[in-house]
Amino acid sequence: ILNVEQSPQSLHVQEGDSTNFTCSFPSSNFYALHWYRWETAKSPEALFVMTLNGDEKKKGRISATLNTKEGYSYLYIKGSQPEDSATYLCAWYSSNTGKLIFGQGTTLQVKP
Amino acid sequence: DAGVTQSPTHLIKTRGQHVTLRCSPISGHKSVSWYQQVLGQGPQFIFQYYEKEERGRGNFPDRFSARQFPNYSSELNVNALLLGDSALYLCASLSVEPGYGYTFGSGTRLTVV
């Protein structure tokens, strides 16, 4: 069974706090790791697609790192804002199955 | 440019009935994937189609089937509906350009009663 695990399951922070989430995935047959933000009543929106070990990507206050050898990725949000409230999904793309397998997501609530 | 469009947005069906969900990908995208999302879980892979051919299938029973048309739109069919099929069904449009994530539609909320 190929599992993608995310932690924590949910997170409540105050506006201005920085936070980070973890995504664990199988280290074998790695092709890519995706991060998505899913706001209530909207579609999941792609944040990052990461392919290289050691990769770091940044979009505004959000950044992500990738370790393919040990099978984990971190997503960081600096100075959380209420508009960052959403479910953050990671997904592992396997080279031998060609499938994008999602974790269960981390739901972030940022209180003003 | 229109995004990924799915129809209908909501649907209520009775156990044992059949349902067809529709998806139109972004113009120029030739690959479509279908996902089922149940509350509290991440999206579960159902099917992937590329150039009208099935390229992958998830662990779903044969009651689930799909197809892709020459214009790259796609249908997901579910026969003999069960209560457990109640979920949000997401369609994703895939670019052939490397480094781009999937573009998702807003989904179809299926309720089986």
Do A63 and A48 contact (CB within 8 A), yes or no? no
Per residue in A62-74, pLDDT tens?
999 999 999 999 9
Query: How far is it, in rounded angstroms, from Cα B21 to Cα B39?
Result: 19
Q: Considering only the beta carbons, identify the residue of B41, B58, B105 that sits closest to A43.
A: B105
In the prediction, which pLDDT does B28 show?
86
Query: How far is it, in rounded angstroms, from Cα B48 to Cα B27?
Result: 17
- pLDDT of A18 > 90? The answer is yes
Strand pairing category for B5-7 and A30-38: unpaired
Q: Is B24 on the interface with A (CB under 8 A)?
A: no
Inter-chain contact B101–A51, Cβ cutoff 8 Å?
no
Do A104 and B41 contact (CB within 8 A), yes or no? yes
**Omega within 30 of 0 (cis) for the link into B8:** yes
Query: How far is it, in rounded angstroms, from Cα A46 to Cα A66?
Result: 16
Mean pLDDT, rounded, for A89-101: 85
Q: Confidence band (pLDDT; 50, 70, 90) for B76? A: very high
- pLDDT of B1 > 80? The answer is no
Per residue in A38-63, pLDDT tens?
998 899 999 999 999 999 999 999 99
- pLDDT of A97 > 90? The answer is no
**Closest alpha carbon within chain A to B47:** A99
